[in-house]
């Protein structure tokens, strides 16, 4: 019996706690109101509450309140009935002056526990100048007058007009509608301009957006943000963002052509739905070039950054992987930052770094982190030092270059079981995919052979000796061919060079599939991977150490003409820009695909190993 009572009390207490945890107390009011007009301030709690305490509101006059209303809803789901009750306290307020005012949180008591609402910020706007003039003239503004360009328009606002190259700024497209002339019911066919010359990162807007009140040039408009984006200029000079347009569906009041009667109350004859095309004016940005004196470790980072680094272990064995993790955090063009250079010793096998980018774009700009993991495998035992990692960026606040340097790492490598000479095979993607091949060569053991002569005529004949001579010759030939193949396979650089074209063709086939599926960004990423992978394999340089500058230098050493080098550089630049540019036509991807295949074919004929 005691157990039953205990369980009952336990479940009852748990139910009370669970219901108490679900109690919400929320305050709501318009974000902006007009001076002289009234508005509602409501406090809603989803339980039976009492002793509500509202803070003092000295900037507003309380005309009515609090008035209380109760709402109950009942649902039956799978035979189970649930009842929800909400209690709302409403105040009618009127502002005393213009400005922006805060309303502190209120408190309420529910079943002995106190709950606090959210605070509110209300902006009080001045009345329309047109309404004041109409009131002074003794007239009344006609709601049936035609909608002019001052009653419905869109603006393109930029946070900065003078920026540095790669410095981000915010652009906001906002629609303004005069509520006395037009009631916006929908927006169709938005044709925003293309941001040519900029890298674009959109600001995520709420799904359910509503018109908010805003005073603009003395008139109160209902406004809604159409688009917000952070733009990063890719070149210096004066860049103009062209015009655009959008179609707005609105409901306007028209003057009736016949005397109205009491029956017109049941008709909507005084309003009509119309579509209006609103144009967006172009805006210009002055982009300053980055100043001279760039540090050697500068790779285009603009903004404000910090950097941290760590090493997986300072003591490893041969053929064990060592990883250096570099994390760059800050505000700016993180997506465009190139990986800092980590100089591993020459006796290390270096693999492509693993990169993770986490970016958040808001009205304050683009911020986030970029994490790069560099992996290498030591081949020989000894003590090594990995130099400090340097990262430079241009600080737009101070207008100067700054360099961040990590600490150098000392690495002690002990002899592993494999002797440090085992060949390494990798698909150059991540450290989990690195495999070690054991000894797969078994040398032939040749013993002395004794023949017992017999009396057959075949013994001692020409064919008898040829049966031994031909296999011996074939054995020698295949032996030397096999030794040559083993030697070449042990040279990973040579193997990669020979398979460079095959790997590039495989990646380009994947790019062709993405092109047919019209996946633009994935297509350009795959073409970039094919080009950088081909150059890395062909030139025997890890991708982590490849840059556009040293690629041009290395290709020139192999006797590649300037026209072919320029063709490769143009394809790389086109891919890097097109990934973040607005939607491209399909024929542009077709043309780039053909140029890439042709350029790799020419390079194969030029560099032969």
**Whose structure tokens read 């250096």?**
324
**Spans of the chain below 70 pLDDT:** 1-21, 78-79, 129-146, 253-270, 418-460, 486-500, 544, 579-586, 608-609
Question: What is the pLDDT, as a whole number, of residue 264?
Answer: 52
Question: What is the pLDDT, as a whole number, of residue 402?
Answer: 93
Q: N- to C-terminal Cα distance for the chain? A: 91
Identify the CA nearest to 286 among candidates 393, 165, 155, 156: 165
The total number of residues written for the chain in this structure: 609
Identify the CA nearest to 344 among candidates 391, 378, 383: 378
Q: How far apart are CA 352 and CA 541, in angstroms?
A: 11
Q: How far apart are CA 155 and CA 54, in angstroms?
A: 39
Q: What are phi and psi of 336, to 5 degrees?
A: -100, -5
Identify the CA nearest to 401 among candidates 548, 299, 549: 299
Q: How far apart are CA 288 and CA 161, in angstroms?
A: 11
Q: Are 361 and 390 in contact (CB under 8 A)?
A: no
Domains in the chain: ranges and CATH: 22-125 (2.60.40.10), 129-288 (2.60.40), 298-433 (2.60.40), 495-606 (1.20.120)
Q: What are phi and psi of 416, to 5 degrees?
A: -90, 180
Strands 99-103 and 107-110, sheet pairing:
unpaired
Q: How far apart are CA 531 and CA 528, in angstroms?
A: 5
Strands 315-317 and 409-414, sheet pairing:
parallel
The string over 461-483, giving b where at least 16 C-beta atoms fall within 10 Å of a residue's C-beta and e elsewhere, is eeeeeeeeeeeeeeeeeeeeeee
Q: How far apart are CA 557 and CA 116, in angstroms?
A: 73
Q: How far apart are CA 530 and CA 501, in angstroms?
A: 10
Contacts of 377 (CB under 8 A, 6+ apart): 319, 320, 321, 322, 348, 349, 351, 424, 434
At residue 365, the 3 state secondary structure works out as strand
Question: What is the Cα gyration radius of the chain?
Answer: 37
Q: How far apart are CA 326 and CA 375, in angstroms?
A: 11
Q: In this predicted model, what pLDDT tens digit does every residue of 199-228 receive, in sequence order?
A: 888 898 887 777 888 888 888 888 889 899
At residue 200, the 3 state secondary structure works out as strand
**Whose structure tokens read 């030939």?**
477
Question: What is the pLDDT, as a whole number, of residue 514?
Answer: 81
Long-range contacts formed by 479-482: CB under 8 A, 24+ apart: none
pTM beyond 0.75: no
Q: Are 46 and 85 in contact (CB under 8 A)?
A: yes
């Amino acid at each position: 019996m005691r157990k039953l009572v205990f369980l009952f009390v336990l479940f009852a207490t748990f139910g009370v706690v669970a219901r108490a945890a679900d109690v919400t107390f929320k305050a709501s009011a318009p974000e902006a109101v007009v001076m002289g007009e009234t508005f509602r301030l409501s406090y809603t709690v989803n339980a039976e509450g009492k002793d509500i305490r509202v803070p003092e509101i000295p900037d507003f006059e309380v005309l009515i309140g609090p008035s209380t209303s109760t709402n109950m809803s009942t649902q039956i789901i799978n035979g189970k009935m649930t009842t929800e009750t909400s209690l709302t306290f409403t105040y009618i307020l009127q502002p005393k002056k213009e400005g922006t005012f805060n309303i502190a949180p209120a408190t309420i008591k529910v079943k002995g526990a106190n709950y606090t609402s959210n605070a509110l910020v209300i902006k009080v706007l001045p009345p329309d100048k047109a309404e004041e003039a109409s009131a002074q003239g003794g007239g009344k503004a006609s709601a049936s007058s035609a909608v002019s360009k001052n009653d419905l328009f869109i603006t393109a606002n930029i946070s900065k007009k003078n920026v540095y190259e790669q410095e981000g700024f915010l652009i906001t497209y906002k629609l303004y509608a005069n509520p006395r002339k037009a009631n916006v019911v929908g927006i169709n066919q938005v044709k925003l301009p293309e941001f040519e010359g900029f890298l674009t990162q959109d600001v995520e807007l709420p799904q359910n957006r509503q018109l908010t009140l805003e005073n603009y040039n003395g008139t109160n408009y209902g406004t809604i943000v159409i688009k917000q984006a952070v733009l990063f200029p890719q070149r210096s000079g004066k860049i103009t963002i062209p015009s655009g347009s959008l179609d707005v569906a609105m409901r306007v009041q028209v003057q009736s052509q016949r005397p109205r009667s009491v029956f017109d109350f049941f008709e909507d004859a005084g309003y009509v739905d119309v579509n209006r095309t609103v144009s967006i004016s172009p805006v210009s940005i002055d982009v300053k070039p980055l100043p001279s004196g760039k540090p050697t470790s500068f790779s285009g980072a603009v903004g404000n950054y910090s950097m941290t680094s760590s090493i997986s272990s300072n003591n490893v064995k041969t053929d064990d992987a060592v990883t250096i993790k570099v994390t760059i955090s800050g505000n700016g063009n993180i997506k465009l930052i190139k990986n800092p250079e980590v100089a591993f010793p020459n006796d290390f096998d270096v693999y492509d770094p693993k990169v993770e980018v986490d970016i958040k774009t808001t009205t304050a700009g683009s911020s986030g982190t970029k994490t790069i993991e560099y992996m290498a495998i030591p081949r020989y035992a000894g003590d090594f030092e990995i130099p400090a990692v340097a990262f430079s960026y241009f600080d737009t606040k101070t207008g100067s270059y700054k360099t961040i340097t990590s600490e150098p790492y000392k690495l002690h490598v002990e002899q592993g079981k494999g002797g440090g000479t085992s060949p390494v095979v990798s698909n150059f993607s991540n450290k989990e995919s690195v495999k070690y091949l054991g000894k797969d060569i078994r040398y032939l053991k040749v013993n002395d052979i004794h023949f017992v002569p017999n009396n057959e005529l075949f013994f001692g004949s020409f064919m008898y000796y040829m049966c031994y001579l031909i296999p011996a010759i074939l054995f020698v030939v295949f032996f030397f061919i096999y030794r040559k193949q083993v030697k070449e396979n042990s040279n990973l650089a040579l193997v990669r060079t020979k398979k460079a074209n095959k790997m590039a063709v495989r990646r380009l086939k994947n790019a062709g599939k993405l092109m047919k599926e019209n996946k633009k960004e994935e297509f350009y990423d795959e073409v970039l991977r094919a080009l950088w992978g081909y150059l890395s394999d062909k030139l025997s340089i890890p991708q982590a150490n490849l840059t556009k500058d040293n690629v041009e230098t290395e290709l020139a050493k192999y006797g590649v003409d300037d026209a072919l080098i320029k063709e490769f550089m143009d394809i790389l630049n086109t891919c890097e820009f097109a990934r973040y540019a607005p939607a491209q036509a399909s024929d542009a991807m077709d043309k780039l695909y053909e140029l890439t295949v042709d350029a790799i074919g020419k390079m194969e004929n030029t560099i032969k190993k």
